[in-house]
Amino acid sequence: MTENEYKNNTKTTAGSAVPNGSKYSEHDLDRYRRTSLIKLFAMGAALILLIVVGTISWFTMNREVENTSLQMTAEGAPFTIYTRSGSGTYNDVYESLETGGMEWQISSDYNFDNHENAKKEGETEPGIEPGDHGILEFRVSPNNDASITVDCVFDMKAYTETITLGANNTPVYTVTEMSDSSLVGYVKAHLMLFTGVDPNTGKYTGLIGNDETLRRVLEDQTYTRNNTAYTKIYWVWPEHLSDLTSNNDSAIIYAPSERSAVISYIANNKDGFFKDCNDSISKVSTDLTTLASSYNSTIYNHYNMKYDNADLDIGNNVSYVLLSMKVE
């Protein structure tokens, strides 16, 4: 019964809210109003709950929430990462891993040796090995502001592939992430990242080193909304230790100005660069500095063997590697 129905049913005499002979009393009317009010509040509460649930994702995703007077404004996704438009050769395997990341798409020129064109002569499938190098590209586009400054954090994971026999003796390939910290350490260290190449000498510049928390970070990169230029990341897996330590500037793969940064990076990551390296960081640093000034076969062989053994361990145990870049 609505209030109108109620009123229509209760033609009252003047001065009295309760009609003579009416089936509803003033008490009933009060009760009806109270009930209506409760219903209204309940609906309001339900609506508020719905709105809160509906917007909870907004609040969880936002890093910046402004409160201006009584109006609350929330910003949208702060940026979008753009890569090239092609999928890698091993995308099916990657998708099956469900890492939660987005595929770093590639092109024939810019890839992680995961493009058909990265195959060398006589090879049936692309892939990386010591001595390989290439370029990956990405750009960040701010969604809300004209420009945005971000840190790009790089990390690597190693995966191993095991083959078991499934139904009808068909092989079943299982790719699992490796937890062996030594192996993952070798992968992280031996795949080095640079931000540029000297156009005159072709040597790498701008080593992407570790920050104080030992993450590989490219700090404070500013991107503007309408700039469509890609940022290039030069990855390289040095084949020989001498590519990094030679005293001959023409024999190293990076610009001589990077030498101290590279030596300090190797020393700080000695357990990744060298297998079973019991020397202290300062000893490694001193030895590599010695090698950088003049070749010493005893020192070189000591580290070269450990470097090659780490490479061998990667090759013998790791099936796939994943290079991730998180923008934050």
Partner 1 sequence: MKRSIEKFRKLSLPMKIQFVVALMCTLALPAYAWFAFQDRIEAFTKVKEPPSINLASGGDDPALYITLENIDVSVGTDKYIVFSIEPGKYSAYDIQLSHTTNIPFTYKLYRVQEDANGTIEYTDHTRNANEETELKYSIITTAAGTTSGEVTLTDINPDDMSTGRYLGDENDLSAARKNYVDSDDVNMYVKPLYSVARSIPQLNENDDGSADRDYFAIRIIWPPGTSSITYTDADYWNYAFNNKETDLIYISAKQNSVESP
Find the shortest distance in angstroms from Cβ 78 to partner 1.
9
Give the H/E segment covering residue 235. strand 231-236
Angle at 167 between CA 164 and CA 171, to 5 degrees: 35
Find the shortest distance in angstroms from Cβ 242 to partner 1.
5
Find the shortest distance in angstroms from Cβ 43 to partner 1.
13
Nearer to partner 1, 13 or 59 (CB): 59
Nearer to partner 1, 240 or 268 (CB): 240
Residue 117 exposure: Cα atoms within 13 Å on the Cβ side: 10
Give the H/E segment covering residue 57. helix 26-61
Give the H/E segment covering residue 5. helix 3-9
Residues 6+ away with beta carbon under 8 Å from 172: 163, 164, 165, 166
CB contact at 8 A, 150 and 79: yes
Q: What amino acid is encoded at 249 in this protein?
A: D
Residue 191, phi then psi, degrees to nearest 5:
-95, 100
Find the shortest distance in angstroms from Cβ 80 to partner 1.
8
Cα–Cα distance, 237 to 187 (Å, whole number):
9
Nearer to partner 1, 268 or 302 (CB): 302
Find the shortest distance in angstroms from Cβ 105 to partner 1.
8
Find the shortest distance in angstroms from Cβ 281 to partner 1.
23
Q: How far is CA 169 from CA 81, 129, 162, 165, in A?
A: 43, 31, 15, 5
Find the shortest distance in angstroms from Cβ 209 to partner 1.
20
Nearer to partner 1, 17 or 101 (CB): 101
Nearer to partner 1, 47 or 77 (CB): 77
Cα–Cα distance, 1 to 325 (Å, whole number):
64
Angle at 179 between CA 245 and CA 189, to 5 degrees: 15
Cα–Cα distance, 139 to 207 (Å, whole number):
19
Question: What 3-state DSSP class applies to 193?
Answer: strand
Nearer to partner 1, 113 or 258 (CB): 113
| Residues forming the site for partner 1 (CB under 8 A) | 54, 57-58, 61, 77, 79, 81, 83, 88-91, 93-94, 97, 99-104, 106, 111-114, 120-123, 125-130, 136, 138, 240, 242, 246, 251, 295, 297, 300, 311-312, 314-316, 318-328
Find the shortest distance in angstroms from Cβ 179 to partner 1.
17
Find the shortest distance in angstroms from Cβ 129 to partner 1.
4
Kindly state the DSSP code that residue 320 receives in the 8-state scheme.
E
Nearer to partner 1, 277 or 292 (CB): 292
Nearer to partner 1, 73 or 297 (CB): 297
Nearer to partner 1, 10 or 114 (CB): 114
